[in-house]
């Protein structure tokens, strides 16, 4: 560790000395006919970039140095590492950081009054850029060195904790012993019975605990089952449960059919013939239709509904649509009647017998 620090320190001092000597003014011999073109604008842009990189590297050095100092001061660090040794270890870092911070270029020329027309405010020579590149490389080397140093200190601080031998717990054997209550082979002579059959002797083993527990469980379960299903009747037997499920299914079917009836329209209406439907249709007819078509359907304002003359047709779907949507002076009834009621009153109209009344309208359509 000490040898590496001394070599690194000597290298940085040599580089710093070479850099300072490189900044000393040297007489330049310029040919009279030479056309010198200064790239100060490009140099200044590169100078800003290198300067920004230098700041970033310095921040990284400060952060890593703080991490090392925190590690050294922590209780985690091993006892026996003296503060003196710590200072020697960090000495190259502090020297390098100081050199990097105080290093500057002496070739920068600031223009005076009246100068610099068309030129940047700061004339950065190419040698300045080289100097910044060298400084950045030095800072990168410092960061790598600090990182290596941190890893070395961390390894030094780590204490080797003796690994505890895992306690082998023969879980399976313990569970097996609890469930079977078996006797080890070497102890079987203690439970050996005296009688012998053809050289075969019997062991007086206990019943396996798992079998005993299952036996008692089946007894208690049977008692509970008997009381639940046959004594108190708390739960239903299979036949009664089946009957309840079938009754519930019938209710669902009835509800579904009732719901589907409301989906009737002029495309799927069917002729109803039951007395209940025709009676409901007659009641609806008496309330909404007798004003225009009279009591027996002979017609007055509206056409005769009992003859063979039809304006839109005599099919149940056509009559359903006419009642639902109206037309030809007839109001629509879909806002007053639901689809079931429209189908019932349409079926009732088609069931009316012929009665003379209003003059025929429409065309003859035989049923």
Write out pLDDT tens, residues 110-135.
554 444 445 555 677 777 778 888 88
Average pLDDT estimate for 141-154: 83
Flag whether pLDDT at 57 surpasses 60. yes
Flag whether pLDDT at 83 surpasses 70. no
Mean pLDDT (the chain) is 76
Average pLDDT estimate for 247-262: 83
Average pLDDT estimate for 150-167: 65
Partnered with residue 200 across adjacent β-strands are 197
Flag whether pLDDT at 254 surpasses 80. yes
245 or 43: whose pLDDT is higher?
245
| Percent of the chain topping pLDDT 70 | 71
Confidence band for 189, pLDDT divided at 50, 70 and 90: confident
Domain ranges for the chain: 2-25+34-157, 182-234, 236-263, 275-364
Partnered with residue 196 across adjacent β-strands are 201
- Asked if 261 and 340 touch (Cβ cutoff 8 Å), the reply is yes
Confidence band for 220, pLDDT divided at 50, 70 and 90: very high
**Secondary structure letter of residue 188 according to DSSP:** G
Confidence band for 168, pLDDT divided at 50, 70 and 90: low
pLDDT given for residue 108 in this prediction: 54
pLDDT given for residue 154 in this prediction: 74
345 or 329: whose pLDDT is higher?
345
pLDDT given for residue 116 in this prediction: 46
pLDDT given for residue 284 in this prediction: 93
Question: Rounded to 5 degrees, what are φ and ψ at 105?
Answer: -95, 130
Two tokens, residue 2 = 């000490």
Flag whether pLDDT at 105 surpasses 50. no
pLDDT given for residue 219 in this prediction: 96
**Secondary structure letter of residue 199 according to DSSP:** T
Confidence band for 285, pLDDT divided at 50, 70 and 90: very high
23 or 325: whose pLDDT is higher?
325
Q: Which pTM was predicted?
A: 0.34
- CATH fold for the domain made of 275-364: Cytochrome Bc1 Complex; Chain D, domain 2 (1.10.760)
For residue 158, the number of C-alpha atoms closer than 13 Å in the C-beta half-sphere is: 8
Flag whether pLDDT at 156 surpasses 60. yes
Highest mean pLDDT pick, 42-56, 106-120, 182-196, 287-301: 287-301
Average pLDDT estimate for 324-349: 89
| Distance linking the first and last C-alpha atoms of the chain | 118
Region of 173 (left: φ > 0; alpha: ψ -120 to 50; beta: rest) is alpha
76 or 333: whose pLDDT is higher?
333
Flag whether pLDDT at 249 surpasses 90. yes
Write out pLDDT tens, residues 8-54.
454 555 444 444 444 444 444 444 444 444 566 777 777 888 888 88
Average pLDDT estimate for 294-314: 87
Residues in the chain: 367
pLDDT given for residue 98 in this prediction: 47
Task: Please state, in angstroms and rounded to a whole number, the distance separating the CA atoms of residues 153 and 112.
Answer: 53
pLDDT given for residue 77 in this prediction: 60
Dihedral of CA atoms 178, 183, 187, 192 in degrees, nearest 10, equals: 150
Among 29-43, 198-212, 289-303, 345-359, the minimum mean pLDDT is found in 29-43
Question: Closest Cα to residue 1, out of 121, 117, 149?
Answer: 149
């Amino acid at each position: 560790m000490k040898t590496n620090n001394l070599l690194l320190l000597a290298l940085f001092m040599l580089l710093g000395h070479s850099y300072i000597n490189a900044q000393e003014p040297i007489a330049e011999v310029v040919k009279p006919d030479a056309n010198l073109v200064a790239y100060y604008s490009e140099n200044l842009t590169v100078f800003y970039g290198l300067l920004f990189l230098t700041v970033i590297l310095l921040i990284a050095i400060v952060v890593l140095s703080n991490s090392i100092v925190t590690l050294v001061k922590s209780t985690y660090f091993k006892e026996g590492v003296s503060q003196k040794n710590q200072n020697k270890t960090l000495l190259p870092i502090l020297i390098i950081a100081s050199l990097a911070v105080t290093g500057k270029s002496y070739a920068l020329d600031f223009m005076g009054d009246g100068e610099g027309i068309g030129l940047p405010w700061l004339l950065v020579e190419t040698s300045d850029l080289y100097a910044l590149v060298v400084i950045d490389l030095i800072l990168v080397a410092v960061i790598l060195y600090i990182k290596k140093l941190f890893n070395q200190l961390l390894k030094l601080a780590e204490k080797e904790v003796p690994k505890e031998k895992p306690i082998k717990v023969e879980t399976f054997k313990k569970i097996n012993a609890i469930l079977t209550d078996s006797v080890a082979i070497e102890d079987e002579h203690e439970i050996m019975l005296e009688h012998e059959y053809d050289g075969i002797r019997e062991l007086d083993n206990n019943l396996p605990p798992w079998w005993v527990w299952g036996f008692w469980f089946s007894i208690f379960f049977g008692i509970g089952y008997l009381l639940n299903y046959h004594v108190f009747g708390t739960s239903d037997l299979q036949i009664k449960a089946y009957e309840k499920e079938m009754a519930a299914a019938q209710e669902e079917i009835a509800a579904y059919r009732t719901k589907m009836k409301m989906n009737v329209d002029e495309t799927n209406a069917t002729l109803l013939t039951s007395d209940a439907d025709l009676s409901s249709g007659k009641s609806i007819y008496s309330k909404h239709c007798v004003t225009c078509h009279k009591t027996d359907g002979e017609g007055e304002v509206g056409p005769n509904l009992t003859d063979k003359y039809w304006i839109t047709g005599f099919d149940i779907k056509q009559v359903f649509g006419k009642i639902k949507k109206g037309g030809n002076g007839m109001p629509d009834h879909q806002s007053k009647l639901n689809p079931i009621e429209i189908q019932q009153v349409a079926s009732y109209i088609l069931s009316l017998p012929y009665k003379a009344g209003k003059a025929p309208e429409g065309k003859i359509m035989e049923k």
